[in-house]
Structure 1
Amino acid sequence: MEHWEIVFFFLTVAFVYSSVGFGGGSSYLAILAMYSFPYQEIRLTALVCNVVVVAGSVTMYVRKNQVNWRKILPVTVLSVPMAYLGATVKISQTTFFQVLGVTLVLASILLWLKTSNQDTVASSVDDKNAGLVKNSLLGGGIGFLSGMVGIGGGIFLSPLLNLMKWDTPRKIAATSSVFILVNSISGIMGQLTKLSGKMDYSKIIYLGLAVFIGGQLGSRMSLKWNPLVIKRITAVLVFAAGVNVLIKHW
């Protein structure tokens, strides 16, 4: 594998992000795009790393009773098949990188937005207002983009749910983790239906192992990272990567 430093980058991203309950999918995409990996490898690698890291977060949230399955189901019921569909869409490498660049720029803007850190229930929104159709369409749209680009979708879902005052920040974080996990798995299944024989699976194994180690270490350490600072530093890096991708491939 060339560029062994990427293994260290992935381990570090997984370590920092998992310590505050994030997955780091956008950062994986940004790193791989900067190194100009083949686009099929970029998508599959990012999704596999998402599953490896976020699975631990979902387990933690379930144990702490932060997962509200009744509210999560409407968000994910359409996103899973749409993520699969998005992953099976045939697009050229140029089109992929153009969509990826725009996605990273939009994601950086959402990451920069400051949302409330207060763990209080939003009184302005209840289950009646957060209706099945609205949640399903939101989840389905993000799911399709997730499968096509190779992200879990939490980078879009979490800020939007916070802006909607959908639930407490902690419950939204748990919902986003579940959303990322199921959409990443669905996206992987979709991509496996049309992968070429030229895939370098050793890279995926090495990077998956790196994020597993980083994710396990980060989730077990009570580090005093400021989630907003991490999000905004990531926003700058993701924005720079997105602009760089657009310059190269537009």
Structure 2
Amino acid sequence: MAFTELLISPWLIAGLFFIIAFIYSSVGLGGGSSYTALMAILGFSTLAIPLVSLSLNLLVTTIGSFNFIRKKHASWPMILPFLLTSMPMAYLGGALNLPKIVFYWLLLVSLLFVAARIYLWRDTSMHLNLSARGKFLVSLLAGSLLGLLAGIVGIGGGIYLVPLIIILGLGSHQQAAACGAIFVWLNSAAGLTSRLQYNAIDLSEYVPLIIAVLLGGGLGSYMGSTRFSSEKMEKVLGLIILVAIGFLGRKLLFP
């Protein structure tokens, strides 16, 4: 179903996307998981969902990536192993056209992991005692899995990558956040490039959503870096994810 054919007002949808972008950007993320879930719940075409979600993810993380690089928080030696496998896998994922039911179940599982990450996996202070080679291999494997997920579903993977970097002892919280923003940006770009080659749609009808996430992302990233507690905002983000899981689960189990 096209955006303009939905029963709910496009401006109400844009308002919801503004809130999502605001909350996600306040903790350094793009919002792909909630954009994707909300569009699935509202009945968007499964062809359009990853394209739109990746596009919006790209926009929101552009500002964050630029700021992190400009402030020299980004560590390229840290993030390159992740990107070596994630970008080609994101491109591959973008070329796949999964059946609707498979797409929805994959989205639901990924949302459950996001919720577990927020509410159950809170302590990321421990470090794994891995050799340099071990850390490199784990980075390659994690990058490939998150890249594939980014391309298929439209979720950037930053919410998984940031704590993983801290657990592996690869860098500080700021460096992890910087790598997360750049990771989401580049993988969203790779997945979107692939999807536009195989399944192009007219993004012009989604302009209200684009404007909403630009405004929400800009304001959220500013407030998150100056006034908001990242832990509190992440819990608010978790509530959005739980609501999305409830609606999407109902859609799948009781069609």
One-letter amino acid matched to 2:158 = G
Decide which moves more: 174-183 or 101-110: 101-110
SS for the counterpart of 1:91 is coil
**Which residue does 2:232 correspond to in 1?**
229
Decide which moves more: 14-23 or 70-79: 14-23
RMSD, aligned CA: 2.3
Q: Distance in 2 between matches of 1:71 and 1:106?
A: 24
SS for the counterpart of 2:198 is coil
Which of 114, 117, 120 pairs up with 2:122? 114
Which of 12, 17, 25 pairs up with 1:10? 17
**Which residue does 1:205 correspond to in 2?**
207
Compute the displacement of 1:235 (Å).
1.9
Does the CA-based 8 Å contact 2:58-2:189 persist in structure 1?
A: yes
Count of residue pairs brought into register by the alignment: 244
Q: Distance in 2 between matches of 1:201 and 1:80?
A: 23
What are the ranges of 5 or more consecutive residues in structure 1 without an aligned counterpart? none
**Which residue does 2:91 correspond to in 1?**
84
Decide which moves more: 156-165 or 76-85: 156-165
**Which residue does 1:40 correspond to in 2?**
47
Does the CA-based 8 Å contact 2:26-2:230 persist in structure 1?
A: no
Hey, which bits of structure 1, 4+ residues long, moved more than 4 A?
Answer: 122-127
Decide which moves more: 53-62 or 210-219: 210-219
Q: Distance in 2 between matches of 1:72 and 1:79?
A: 10
Q: Distance in 1 between matches of 2:250 and 2:170?
A: 36
Q: Distance in 1 between matches of 2:242 and 2:167?
A: 21
Which of 72, 75, 81 pairs up with 1:68? 75
Cα shift readout 1:125-184 (whole Å, capped 9, x = no counterpart): 688255322211110111111111111111221233333333211111001111100100
TM-score, normalising length: structure 1:
0.88
Q: Distance in 2 between matches of 1:98 and 1:200?
A: 26
**Which residue does 1:140 correspond to in 2?**
144
Cα shift readout 1:85-119 (whole Å, capped 9, x = no counterpart): 011122111111111111111111112232458xx
One-letter amino acid matched to 2:38 = I
Q: Distance in 2 between matches of 1:23 and 1:201?
A: 18
Decide which moves more: 80-89 or 237-246: 237-246
**Which residue does 2:222 correspond to in 1?**
220
TM-score, normalising length: structure 2:
0.86
SS for the counterpart of 2:156 is coil
Q: Distance in 1 between matches of 2:236 and 2:222?
A: 23
Does the CA-based 8 Å contact 2:37-2:107 persist in structure 1?
A: no
Does the CA-based 8 Å contact 1:108-1:235 persist in structure 2?
A: yes
In structure 2, do the counterparts of structure 1 residues 203 and 230 end up closer, same or farther at CA, with 3 Å as the change threshold?
A: farther
Compute the displacement of 1:200 (Å).
5.3
Does the CA-based 8 Å contact 1:25-1:152 persist in structure 2?
A: yes
Q: Distance in 2 between matches of 1:8 and 1:37?
A: 17
Decide which moves more: 72-81 or 38-47: 38-47
Does the CA-based 8 Å contact 2:128-2:168 persist in structure 1?
A: no
One-letter amino acid matched to 1:72 = I
- Residue 160 (structure 1) aligned with residue 167 (structure 2): no
